[in-house]
Amino acid sequence: MFNPQLHRIILIDKALNSVYMPTKDDLIEYIRDNSDDFEFCDSTIEKDLYLMRNQYNAPIKFKKGNSPGGNGFYYYSDDFEFWHEFLSHWNKYIEFPVSIRNILITNNYTNNEQINK
């Protein structure tokens, strides 16, 4: 099953980690360039950022700058990893099969302590 919102959030996370302080327009362009999900508007991105901050504890801030290219979103903590937060959140509700746990642990998507709780 394809979840467009989760796909957008994954792409936002990638953009925040790879593009220097992307603006909302940069995020929209990045998502459109990297997915088939063209049916969304500016407010959709704002809702995705809100969800990332409030449900997954993403340390996202927006910086206003005076110079061109001085505005944009960024992670204000280098320790944040979206997949750790995502899996920790959903691990409360979903019992991951052992095979999936092993794949996640092997690929460092989460640490062994979090996924086995």
Domain of 96 in residue numbering reads as 82-115
Q: Which tokens hold the place of 68?
A: 């061109």
Model-wide pTM > 0.75: no
Q: Report the domain count for the chain.
A: 2
Q: Which bin fits 113, alpha (ψ -120 to 50), beta or left (φ > 0)? A: alpha
pLDDT of residue 67: 61
CA distance 117 to 24: 37
| 111 and 68 together in one domain | no
pLDDT of residue 106: 60
| 107 and 62 together in one domain | no
Q: Across the 117 residues of the chain, what is the mean pLDDT of every consecutive 10-residue run?
A: 80 89 92 83 93 92 76 88 76 59 55 44
